[in-house]
Amino acid sequence: MTQQTKATRVRHPSSLREHRWSAVGRATVIAVLAIVMGSLFVTAYSIALGDPVPHRIDAALVGDPTAHAGTASSVQSVADGGLVFSRYASVPAALQAMDQQNVYATLDLTSPRPTLYVASAAGASVARVLERISAVDPTVRVVDTHPLGTGDPNGLEVFYLMLIATIVGFFTVFQTRQNAGGLSLRRWTAFLVALAVAAPFAFTLVVGPLLHLLELPVLESWGILALQLIAAASFTSLMAVLIGRWAVLPTWLFFVILGNSASGGAVAPPLLPRPLAFVSQWLPSGATVTALREAVYFPTDQHAQPIAVLATWAAVLFTAMIVVSHRLGRSPGDP
């Protein structure tokens, strides 16, 4: 290999970046990327949400399954063998486990009529799967211990709240850079904080006190949505500092394709493909959905983990945006 060939290969990445693209060339690249991103979106959502299949549904079992083998088998069949039973000494203990969201269902074999307890509020998609037992074995009684509210019959309102906080977070960043560019880092930071305070407050009021779709605890829901919005906006701002106008690509991949499909909002984690079910509660979108659901439907049995996960993402991304902007000497507001 000659020295000239080596030099050409070394210069190639730089020459590609400095290449003067024609309008047609830029439009072609953008169209190709849009097709790729759209294809990934369709693939991820179809696999995760299109045909949810039970993989592992934690459930409580009270009584002797060998004495009711047919009932236990019928319940297991509607879940495609995905039920993982843990033995509990009594029905109250099992129902307490459902309250604490350690299990999604309880099969009681000690009562005169076998009873399957489900909790729609913990996962409407899981409850719908298990409620099919009424058609398979009508002798099994189904009881919903935590039904959804009348304004949220499909259990999707918390998912919609997370979704709008995410969209407003990254969409506002792109539009502000495009139409109000030139904000210094200090002003950009203040702008994001103000947006994270104002927008979630409006969303909470609309879904709660105004439309009465959910019985939202206003302050808590406001705080949860503020953390989600600041996480999305900070991530987008960080990407804008690092890669400029192409920041839309990692933002779309992380929050829209991965985050939303794995959030557990439209389809509960036990019905998601296992990799998505695993990461669900460790991503900001999944943590937001869980935190909101617990605040609305399980106010006395909330867990610290989703709030801690969400707060960590928001703090780390917000801090990274500021630090990287200082190091590189440019603001996310620079167009």
Whether 324 and 187 share a structural domain = yes
Whether 257 and 174 share a structural domain = yes
User: What digits encode the pLDDT tens for the residues 166-224?
Assistant: 999 999 999 999 888 789 999 999 999 999 999 999 999 999 999 999 999 999 999 99
- Residue 62: its H or E element: strand 57-62
Rounded to the nearest 10°, the torsion over CA 117, 121, 126, 131 is: 40
User: What digits encode the pLDDT tens for the residues 10-49?
Assistant: 444 445 455 676 777 778 877 888 888 888 878 877 877 7
Quote the number of domains for the chain: 2
Q: Where is the domain boundary, 144, 179, 213? A: 144
Which residues on adjacent β-strands are paired with residue 144? 118
In a domain, 84, yes or no: yes
In a domain, 83, yes or no: yes
Task: State the CATH number of the domain containing residue 99.
Answer: 3.40.190
Whether 86 and 205 share a structural domain = no
Model pTM above 0.75: yes
Whether 182 and 117 share a structural domain = no
Confidence at 2, pLDDT banded by 50, 70, 90: low
Half-sphere exposure of 228 (CA within 13 A, CB side): 38
* Tokens at 204, concatenated: 């909470």
With 60 as the cut, is the pLDDT of residue 4 above it? Answer: no
Whether 268 and 120 share a structural domain = no
**Gap between the terminal Cα atoms of the chain:** 42
Whether 215 and 73 share a structural domain = no
Whether 113 and 203 share a structural domain = no
pLDDT of residue 10: 45
pLDDT of residue 224: 97
Classify 34 as helix, strand or coil: helix
* Tokens at 170, concatenated: 């990254």
Whether 295 and 166 share a structural domain = yes
pLDDT of residue 7: 47
Rounded to the nearest 10°, the torsion over CA 200, 201, 206, 212 is: 110
Average pLDDT of the chain is: 90
In a domain, 310, yes or no: yes
* Tokens at 88, concatenated: 């509990």
165 and 203 in contact (C-beta within 8 Å)?
A: yes
Cα–Cα distance between 237 and 231 in angstroms, integer?
10
Average pLDDT (236-247) is 93
pLDDT of residue 33: 82
Which residues on adjacent β-strands are paired with residue 141? 115
User: What digits encode the pLDDT tens for the residues 108-149?
Assistant: 999 889 999 999 999 999 999 999 999 999 999 999 999 998
User: What digits encode the pLDDT tens for the residues 251-263?
Assistant: 999 999 999 999 9
Whether 175 and 128 share a structural domain = no
pLDDT of residue 233: 97
Whether 170 and 311 share a structural domain = yes
Whether 99 and 171 share a structural domain = no
Cα–Cα distance between 108 and 311 in angstroms, integer?
39
For the chain, the maximum distance between any two Cα atoms, rounded to a whole number of angstroms, is 87
Best CA proximity match to 193, nearest among 145, 221, 155, 234: 234
Which residues on adjacent β-strands are paired with residue 115? 108, 141
Q: Where is the domain boundary, 144, 175, 191? A: 144
Whether 173 and 309 share a structural domain = yes
* Tokens at 182, concatenated: 């030139």
Classify 114 as helix, strand or coil: coil
Residue 93 lies in domain: 57-144
Q: Where is the domain boundary, 116, 144, 172? A: 144
